[in-house]
Amino acid sequence: MSAFQPTGKSIKIAYTDDSTDVRLAIDQPAPTHLCVVNTDSANVIVINAGFTEGDVDAIVPTSDQNGEGLVVGPLSTLFFALDSTRASESGNLYISVAGDSATGNVYVTPGQYEPVVYKGY
C-alpha cells in the first residue's frame, strides 16, 4: 500500500504523435512523483519529465528507434519518480508526452508518494 499526496494542480496535456512539451511552475514542496493517467483505450503514450529544460523529450519506440521516457499502456495509471533534489534549479517542471496515435490526452498530477508500511497483527 502507498499514499499519494498531490502538491500541485492536475493538468491535461493534449499530445500528438510527436513530442508535446509543457512547462509547469512547481509548488513547494517540490514533487517527488507524477501520477500519470492515459485515458486512451487503444494506444500507448510515452512520458518524460525533469527539472531541466531540453532534457525531457519523449519519444515513442519503434522497430527502428529506441524510445525516450516511460511507456504508459492504454487505460493505465503510472507513478513516475522524479529527482526532486534538482527542483530548486529552475522552479519549473518540464513534461514531454508523445503518443503512439496521432492525438490524445494525458492527465498529470505532481505530488509526494510515500509508502505505507503494513505492520500486520
Residue partners of 79: CB distance under 8 A and separation at least 6 = 4, 33, 34, 35, 36, 113
Residue partners of 70: CB distance under 8 A and separation at least 6 = 46, 47, 48, 78, 80
* Diameter of the chain measured on Cα atoms: 53
Q: Average pLDDT of 85-108?
A: 82
pLDDT number for residue 77? 94
For residue range 99-120, what is the model confidence (pLDDT) as tens digits? 888 788 999 999 888 777 777 7
* pLDDT-based confidence at residue 86 (cuts at 50, 70, 90): confident
pTM over 0.95: no
Query: What is the percentage of the chain residues whose pLDDT exceeds 90?
Result: 23
Backbone angles phi, psi at 42, to 5 degrees: -135, -15
SS3 58: coil
Domains of the chain, with CATH numbers? Answer: 2-113 (2.60.120.380)
